[in-house]
Amino acid sequence: MRVCSEVVEVRTFGPMKLFDVTALVNKIVEKCGVSEGVAWISVKGATPALLLCEESRCEEVVEAITRLIPFSGWRHGNAYAHLISTTLSTSIAVPIESSRLVLAEGYSIKLLETRSVYNHRRQIVVQIHGR
């Protein structure tokens, strides 16, 4: 069993902006040299989220979650960001086959910046387990 870990930084802005990290994770898988296994992907923080979604539908997911958890009406200024992060998740696992992520056709891994912050630095931890 081989285990590789890498922390990468992604600069974001928001609110509710998506950043594709699929290629970044695939590069880490390739560098690790694992042909089959699993990639554990996690973003640090209490307000970002990770999505695994069909490329053409990702914006619809963001719109739906924004309707479900609106920005206003909270006592705490960014409570909505914490709720969105908790609802969607800060971690995902993706299988690896033939040294590539196993994603359905047209699907990608997106980092969702929920807060209205510009030039935010998000750290993504990618850990590969496999052989």
pLDDT at 99: 95
For the chain, which ranges sit under pLDDT 70? none
pLDDT at 73: 85
CATH superfamily for domain 2-130: YjbQ-like (2.60.120.460)
Per-domain residue ranges of the chain = 2-130
pLDDT at 74: 85
pLDDT at 23: 97
Grouping H, G, I as helix, E, B as strand and the rest as coil, residue 63 is helix
pLDDT at 121: 96
What gap in Å lies between CA 107 and CA 68, rounded to an integer? 23
pLDDT at 71: 87
pTM, to two decimals: 0.95
